Amino acid sequence: MATVVAMTYLLPPVVFGWLYAYKDGSPRPFPITVRRLVVTAFDAIVYLGQILYGLLLSIYLFKIRRKTPARTLTLHRQMYHLFRYDIHHIAGVKTTLLNPEKEDFARPAIIICNHKSLLDPVCLMALSPRILIVTGTKVWHNPVVHRILCFADFISMDNGIDSIVEQCGKHVAQGYSIAIFPEGERVTGDDIGRFHNGAFLLAKLLHVDLLPVYLHGLKDLMPLHSPVCNSGRMTIQIGKRISPEEQQSMGDSLLDIKKTIHRQFTETYRETDVWLNP
């Protein structure tokens, strides 16, 4: 009898509550469906297969053979082609790239990008094979991706500012751009979060351009704590470079530069968001 009561009065609210709402009770933008669970599971299997391929390629290039800049670039090109294919072939998702400045990433820069979803790093790596990402502690120590991040010369925030500057300087000299999420963590709201100093300090010390990249729609596609990827649209917008001279004209202190760029970044993000969602 207790089982019948539980199945009748307890299980349905729990199951349907999970399908339509988050743990905190706020509604999901889209309910979880069997189709989305299947699509997400398939995408996850493909992603894990790509990680395995990257590991095997890395072992061949760097362990069986000797690690060189050319072989490292070979790994990055493989990752670039795989992730570029991925973002354009997620079932139920339309991907658009806006590149009005015809950016080709030929010159190194510090890329600053808003952070809304687990898919954000994939979108950045799909822009060019010469992009490295500064990763946080949680991602760096994730057992699924840790080895491939090491092989690919990604940079960990755990290393400390002096080591990070040294590593980034070496990669910039080899023609790589360094991508940083200046908000520091995924932001759950619709707007841009507060920026930290790291990206702007790096740009100043390395005397390189800042390059804004805006990601639209990813918060709804795969929100924080969501187990599935929803249907919808994502837009990757590459902005205009900000030269060292332009950065210097924004103020004498790092705080002034950060505040000015945050304001410009937020304004551009909002304008494009309104244009995309009239």
pLDDT band at residue 32, thresholds of 50, 70 and 90?
A: low
pLDDT band at residue 6, thresholds of 50, 70 and 90?
A: very low
CA angle 72, 74, 77 (to 5 degrees): 115
pLDDT at 222: 78
The answer on pLDDT for 10 being more than 70 is no
CA angle 150, 42, 125 (to 5 degrees): 35
Percentage with pLDDT > 90 across the chain = 62
Query: DSSP state, 21?
Result: B
Is residue 223 packed enough to be buried (19+ CB in 10 Å), middle (13-18) or exposed (0-12)?
A: buried
Q: Which residues contact 251 (CB under 8 A, 6 or more apart)?
A: 257, 259, 260
Mean pLDDT computed over every residue of the chain: 86
**Are the C-beta atoms of residues 220 and 232 closer than 8 Å to each other?**
yes
Q: Could you give the CA distance from residue 198 to residue 164 in angstroms, rounded to a whole number?
A: 10
The answer on pLDDT for 14 being more than 80 is no
CA 175 from centroid of its chain's CA atoms: 20
Q: pLDDT tens across 234-271, in order?
A: 999 999 999 999 999 998 899 999 999 999 999 999 99
Q: Could you give the CA distance from residue 260 to residue 257 in angstroms, rounded to a whole number?
A: 5
Query: For the whole model, what pTM was predicted?
Result: 0.86
pLDDT band at residue 12, thresholds of 50, 70 and 90?
A: very low
Q: pLDDT tens across 139-191, in order?
A: 899 888 899 999 999 999 888 888 999 999 999 999 999 999 999 888 877 78
- Of 19-23, 29-33, 77-81, 200-204, the range with the lowest mean pLDDT is 19-23
Q: Which residue has the tokens 């599935």?
A: 228
The 10 Å Cβ neighbour count of residue 105 is: 17
